[in-house]
Homo-oligomer: A and B are copies of this chain.
Amino acid sequence: MRGYSFYKRASRAFHQYPSLSKLLVIVTVSGGGVAAYNGAKPFSATYARPVEGECEKKKKVVVLGTGWAGVSFLKNLKNPSYDVHVVSPHNYFAFTPLLPSVTCGTVEARSIVEPVRSITRKKGIDVQFREAVCYKIDADNKKVYCRSSQDKNLGGKEEFSLDYDYLIIGMGARQTLSTPPGVEDALRIRQSVIDCFESAGLPSLSEEEKKRILHFVVVGGGPTGVEFAAELHDFVTEDLAKLYPTVKDYAKITLLEAGDHILNMFDKRITSFAEEKFQRDGINVKTGSMVVKVGDKEISTKVRGTGQVANLPYGMVVWSTGIGPRDEVVDFMKQIGQTNRRALATDEWLRVEGCDNVYALGDCATINQRKVMEDIALIFSKADKNNSGTLNIKDFQEVVDDICERYPQVELYLKKKQMKNIVELLKNSQKKSVEVDIETFKSALSEVDSQMKNLPATAQVAAQQGAYLANCFNRLEECEKYPEGPLRFRSVGRHRFRPFRYKHLEQFAPLGGEQAAAQLPGDWVSIGHSTQWLWYSVYASKLVSWRTRVLVVSDWGRRFIFGRDSSRI
């Protein structure tokens, strides 16, 4: 599909700019052959490093955040004509999908982190890293204000500002209720688990107190909550039970989920497998339970439907629920008039709505997809070149690819209805003729917008967005001249780039006891021990560097041989 559309674009370019033919051949040779055209990166030209004097001309790109979005951008940026400045409170990138493993010591925290400097060092581009928090964005003056994340050496926290030509916001989100998910938090959870076991072992505690202290409550039955509950169960039964024989029987894990099922974004087969496995393991799953209050020693839940309130004494509670915007992002949203939103709204090219040269991606952003129905008249008139008031198939076929590219919901709708293309959709609604007027056109496409969905706040989305944006930046000048995107329906010409398209790959849910569930592309489902091995191999291959790969694999090996460590450090 992508290969095809590239050829189409290339041939279009040929017709419009015949002088390009020579250039293209050169690019083909220097870029390493035709194979380069088949992937997601149609241009893989080598970029000449600028000579000394050109430095002042470099455009300054400021990247905020070094999570999946920011690091994916940095890893994929290959054009040396930018002067890149990275600002993040953490000088490392953490492979977040393994954080639940860190909470119980299956994997060490240091094995899943890689310094940002060593990620960017080997690339041929200038990247300056600053360990700081960006506390204010001034889009009018193209400036960000930052504050050092530590103060002890500087007598008060060092503040500084950075100008930018392009700003890329990948600051992530915060958990709405409790601790944000990060390496420090994973380590704190690990300590707290040990703390509970040590506390329960003290003399002079009543039975009831021991039970309370060793009651672990996990709120949120999504993949992270489920994985944490499973890891914790393994940690307790495989390792802690041996070292704390006198209190092990008091340990209990409860998983609270407001919905009807845990893992409700997964296939039903996975959900029921997980629920049955947890029941066998003795993990208490309470679905339909909403948390209404968290006291010092008790958590109050309300059963959805009946409204019955129950109080659970707990020793430790771990939240794995929704996310919300960070304060700095909220401030910026107010400033640019985006209120009443949970994340920075961008268009399909990841550009923040309401300001120039600012991009947002990852958990702090949401793509505000354009509705087909808003543009329906413009689409119709673009297709109806001869202004006849009706479209025939020939008229329509010229714009069909552009429509599908600009409004991805069309394709989703067709897929859902099991149709091959829009022509079939039009034929469906208008059996007798293949000429359609605007009203028929409208009614045929009227349900298309129902397929618009927000992308999930996952590492996969952020990583793909980062890579997409880097690819755009790599070819900014070329695409300015020779735009490759779809037709602009609201104005003239074409968009510079194709809009961002999310490609959903596999999604895993480790369930403990060396079992996992996976939802693979094409509605395939895989459950069991073999899936755990698939999980091991996929995660090992996705790790950011050889160092982390070796460390994580040796951590897994160490856990198999020696178990998890319960030293409270």
Interchain CB contact under 8 A, A155 and B297? yes
Q: In the assembly, what is the distance between CA of A201 and CA of B149, in Å?
A: 12
Interface set, chain A 157-204, CB cutoff 8 A to B? 158, 160, 162, 183-184, 187, 192, 194-196, 198-199, 201-204
The residue that A91 contacts in the complex, of B91, B198, B213, with Cβ under 8 A, is: B198
A565 at the interface (CB under 8 A from B): yes
Q: In the assembly, what is the distance between CA of A178 and CA of B547, in Å?
A: 35
If A183-B569, A565-B115, A568-B92 touch, does A202 touch B130 (CB 8 Å cutoff)? yes
The residue that A201 contacts in the complex, of B130, B184, B565, with Cβ under 8 A, is: B130
Interchain CB contact under 8 A, B195 and A152? yes
Contact-residue size bin, chain A (C-beta under 8 Å from the other chain)? 35 or more
Q: Chain B contacts of A546 at CB under 8 A?
A: 562
Q: Chain B contacts of A162 at CB under 8 A?
A: 203
Interface class of chain A by DSSP: mixed
A341 at the interface (CB under 8 A from B): no
If A153-B213, A199-B153, A205-B158 touch, does A568 touch B90 (CB 8 Å cutoff)? yes
Q: Report the nearest B residue to A110, measured CB to CB.
A: B565
A67 at the interface (CB under 8 A from B): no
Interchain CB contact under 8 A, A568 and B117? no
The residue that A184 contacts in the complex, of B198, B562, B569, with Cβ under 8 A, is: B569
Q: In the assembly, what is the distance between CA of A143 and CA of B313, in Å?
A: 33
Interface-side segment among A217-225, A255-263, A519-527, A550-558 = A550-558
The residue that A158 contacts in the complex, of B117, B192, B204, B296, with Cβ under 8 A, is: B204
Interchain CB contact under 8 A, B131 and A567? no
The residue that A202 contacts in the complex, of B108, B148, B565, with Cβ under 8 A, is: B148
Q: In the assembly, what is the distance between CA of A196 and CA of B151, in Å?
A: 10
| Known A109-B569, A130-B201; further 4 A-B contacts with Cβ < 8 A | A113-B565, A131-B202, A131-B568, A132-B202
- Give 3 closest A-B pairs by Cβ, nearest first: A92-B567, A131-B198, A117-B243
